[in-house]
Amino acid sequence: VDRVLRGRIDDRFNTVHLGGLNLDAREARGIRRVKILGCGTSYHAGLIGAGLIESLARIPADAEPASEFRYRNPVVDPDTLYIAVSQSGETYDVLAAVQELKRKGARVLGVVNVVGSAIAREADGGTYVHAGPEVCVVSTKCFTNTVVAFALLALHLGRIRDLSVAEGKRIIEGLRKLPAQISEILESEADIKKLAEEYADAKSMMFIGRVRGYPVALEASLKLKEISYIHAEAYPASELKHGPLALIEPALPTVAIVPDDELLEKNRAALEEIKARSGRILAVAHREQEKADHTIVVPKNEDELDPILMGIPLQLLAYHTALALGRDIDKPRNLAKSVTV
């Protein structure tokens, strides 16, 4: 995270690599939409990125799995900024989406970890996320750094448009707090290990989050699947009542993302629905949640930056669950470091 924060999003630091954003102020003001493409963890980081761009730059933004986008003959719009996200920079679905976009005349930026990778070379500009060369098959640090890079991009676009200096400062100060807050979360690893051992007997787990918390739920459920092989599903908390509540019973624990923000009461109501059906609840929150059986308390940052911190204990939860089940963390089955076909 320090490394992303030290390299501003569009300064010379990037020139030797992806070349920065390559957007002048007039072009940045002309963006009508942002579309982010990635696969797996990179798609989930893109969903959080889209939320950051909408809230800080007030540009409509969304993310889509690149693996879907490339097959649906997408309409390419000249006023849309396309951004491809990839840790390895080699994932074929993402590369194919970038090539399809470029064939149709779009400008595509990359948010990539591996320097000089195929997607980095193909993109018209963008940034590296500096998660280090030692990343493993299952993406963790890169997820965090990609989201930080999106926060910087959202700030940059926001400042060119209508974001006030004071609002910009609020976010910058929040970003600066992240390294110390992440260290604080890592210090609670022993407690998270105990929780992982307690929930490791589950055959399946439900993950819920609302708005900013939903991509965190998606990513946490993917991490659990990838390395522990426990079946997991992620739902937007408000979708529970549209079907999935039928699944809730003591044998299906729910991991709930419950930040202290304007949606706190709504999220608490979802916990009540689950408790009313005798579901076990593990909450990730900024303070103990009465309805939950256990709460992992994480430090509070600015609302927009909370997803960065809330994802980290859940990466640790997946890691310790996998260890408790005797899985080979470094060689998860059926998973390649980059999917190149």
Is there binding between residue 86 and ligand F1P (CB under 6 A)?
yes
Short-list 9, 67, 59, 10, CA closest to 35: 59
Nearest distance, CB of residue 139 and ligand F1P, angstroms: 4
With CB under 6 A, what is the number of residues at the site for ligand F1P?
A: 16
Q: How far is the CB of 41 from ligand F1P (least distance, A)?
A: 3
- The end-to-end CA distance of the chain, in Å, is 31
* Number of Cβ within a 10 Å radius of residue 2: 13
Q: How many residues does the chain have?
A: 341
List for the chain the helix, strand, coil content (%; round to 5). Answer: 50, 15, 35
Cβ nearer to ligand F1P, comparing 113 with 295: 113
> CB of 337: closest distance to ligand F1P in angstroms?
6
Residues in contact with 129: Cβ distance below 8 Å, sequence separation at least 6, in sequence order: 4, 111, 112, 113, 142, 145, 146, 148, 149
Question: Is 91 near ligand F1P (CB under 6 A)?
Answer: yes
CB of 115 to ligand F1P, least distance (A): 13
Closest residue to ligand F1P, based on beta-carbon distance: 40
- Read off φ and ψ for residue 186, nearest 5 degrees: -65, -25
Could you confirm whether 337 is annotated as catalytic?
yes
Do residues 153 and 51 make contact, with C-beta atoms less than 8 angstroms apart? no
Distance CA 39, CA 48 (A): 14
Residue list 42-81, contact with ligand F1P (CB under 6 A): 42
3-state SS class at 157: helix
In terms of CB distance, is 155 or 234 closer to ligand F1P? 234
87 binds ligand F1P (CB under 6 A): yes
Contact pick of 76, 96, 137, 245 for ligand F1P (by CB under 6 A)? 137
Residues labelled as active-site residues: 337
Binding region for ligand F1P (CB under 6 A)? 39-42, 86-88, 91, 94, 137-139, 335, 337-339
